[in-house]
Amino acid sequence: MFARTAHTLARQVARAGTRAYSDAPMSFTFASQNQVFYKEASVRQVDVPSFSGSFGILPSHVPSLAVLKPGVLTVFEDAGTSKKYFVSSGIVTINQDSSVQVLAEEAAAVEELDLASARDILSKAQSAASTAATEEAKAEALITVEVAEELVKAAESG
Amino acid sequence: MRSPQKRGARQHQVADVQCLCRTDSLRFSSHRGCCLIDPKMFSRSALLVPNHGQQQVRGMATLKAIAMRLKSVKNIQKITQSMKMVSAAKYARAEKELKVARPYGAGTTAFYDKAEVKGEEEKPNQLIVACSSDRGLCGAIHSSICKHIKAELAQDASKAAIICIGDKSRAQLARVLSQNIIGQVGEVGRKPATFEDAARIATFILNSGYDFGQGRIIYNRFKTVVSYDTLELPFFTPSAISAAEKINVYDSLDADVIQSYMEYSLTSLLFFALKEGACSEQSSRMTAMDSASKNAGEMIDKLTLTYNRTRQAVITGELIEIISGAAAV
The sign of the CA dihedral B257, B258, B261, B263 is: negative
What is the longest distance spanned by two Cα atoms in chain B? 112
The reported pLDDT for the residue numbered A5 is 52
3-state SS class at A88: coil
Average pLDDT rounded to a whole number, residues B156-163: 87
3-state SS class at A108: strand
B289's CB contacts (< 8 A; 6+ apart) are B80, B81, B83, B84, B87, B137
Q: Which of A94-103, A105-114, B181-190, B267-276 has the highest mean pLDDT?
A: B267-276
Alpha carbon of A12 to those of A16, A45, A94, B140: distances in Å? 6, 19, 21, 58
CB atoms inside a 10 Å sphere around CB B182: 15
Give the residue among A152, A153, A147 at the shortest CA–CA distance from A88: A147
Give the residue among B141, B152, B114, B111 at the shortest CA–CA distance from B284: B141
Lowest mean pLDDT of A34-38, A43-47, B15-19, B187-191, name the range. B15-19
DSSP labels for B7-65?
A: HHHHHHHHTTPPPGGGSSS---S--TT-----TTTTTSSS--S-STT-TTSTTHHHHHH
In the predicted model, is pLDDT for residue B48 greater than 60?
A: no
In the predicted model, is pLDDT for residue B35 greater than 50?
A: no
Strand ranges, E, within chain B: 126-131, 160-165, 181-185, 214-224, 227-236
Order of strands across the sheet with B181-185?
Answer: B181-185, B160-165, B126-131, B214-224, B227-236
pLDDT bracket for residue B60 (50, 70, 90): low
The sign of the CA dihedral A134, A135, A136, A139 is: positive
The reported pLDDT for the residue numbered B298 is 97
Lowest mean pLDDT of A85-89, B38-42, B316-320, name the range. B38-42
Whether B253 sits inside 8 A of A91 (CB atoms) is no
Mean pLDDT of chain B: 81
Whether B250 sits inside 8 A of A103 (CB atoms) is no
State the smallest CA–CA distance between residue A107 and chain B in angstroms: 13
What is the longest distance spanned by two Cα atoms in chain A? 70
A42 forms bridges with which residues in the sheet? A27
In the predicted model, is pLDDT for residue A62 greater than 50?
A: yes
Query: Tens digit of pLDDT for each residue in B120-133?
Result: 777 888 899 999 99
Average pLDDT rounded to a whole number, residues B272-282: 95
The reported pLDDT for the residue numbered B246 is 73
B92's CB contacts (< 8 A; 6+ apart) are none
Query: Tens digit of pLDDT for each residue in A65-101?
Result: 889 999 999 999 888 899 999 999 899 988 888 889 9
Q: Which residues of B fall within a CB distance of 8 Å from A94?
A: 250
Q: Indicate the DSSP class of residue B125.
A: -
Whether A52 sits inside 8 A of B252 (CB atoms) is yes
Q: Are B24 and B295 in contact (CB under 8 A)?
A: yes
CB-based burial of residue B26 (10 Å sphere; 0-12 exposed, 13-18 middle, 19+ buried)?
middle
3-state SS class at B85: helix
In the predicted model, is pLDDT for residue B221 greater than 80?
A: yes
Q: Are B185 and B198 in contact (CB under 8 A)?
A: no
Whether B104 sits inside 8 A of A33 (CB atoms) is yes
What is the distance between the alpha carbons of residues B39 and B22, in angstroms, rounded to a whole number?
18
Q: Are B169 and B142 in contact (CB under 8 A)?
A: yes
CB atoms inside a 10 Å sphere around CB A95: 21
**Strands B214-224 vs B126-131: parallel, antiparallel or unpaired:** parallel
State the smallest CA–CA distance between residue A63 and chain B in angstroms: 5
Name the interface residues of A facing B (CB cutoff 8 Å).
29, 31, 33-36, 39, 51-52, 62-67, 89-91, 93-97, 99, 101, 103, 105
Half-sphere exposure of B215 (CA within 13 A, CB side): 28
What is the distance between the alpha carbons of residues A126 and A77, in angstroms, rounded to a whole number?
37
State the smallest CA–CA distance between residue B66 and chain A in angstroms: 52
pLDDT bracket for residue B14 (50, 70, 90): very low
What is the distance between the alpha carbons of residues B142 and B171, in angstroms, rounded to a whole number?
10
The reported pLDDT for the residue numbered B86 is 96
What is the distance between the alpha carbons of residues A47 and A76, in angstroms, rounded to a whole number?
8
Phi/psi for B127 (5° steps) reads -115, 120
**Strands A55-57 vs A99-104: parallel, antiparallel or unpaired:** unpaired
Dihedral-angle region of residue B53 (phi above 0 means left; psi in -120 to 50 means alpha; beta otherwise): left
Give the residue among A100, A101, A78, A82 at the shortest CA–CA distance from A31: A101
Name the interface residues of B facing A (CB cutoff 8 Å).
97, 99-101, 103-104, 106-108, 110-111, 114, 194-195, 246, 249-253, 256-258, 260-261, 264-265, 268, 271
B243's CB contacts (< 8 A; 6+ apart) are B120
Query: Tens digit of pLDDT for each residue in B69-83?
Result: 999 999 999 999 999
Q: How long is chain B?
A: 329
**Strands A71-77 vs A99-104: parallel, antiparallel or unpaired:** unpaired
State the smallest CA–CA distance between residue B199 and chain A in angstroms: 10
In this prediction, the answer to ipTM > 0.95 reads no
Whether B260 sits inside 8 A of A39 (CB atoms) is no
State the smallest CA–CA distance between residue A67 and chain B in angstroms: 6
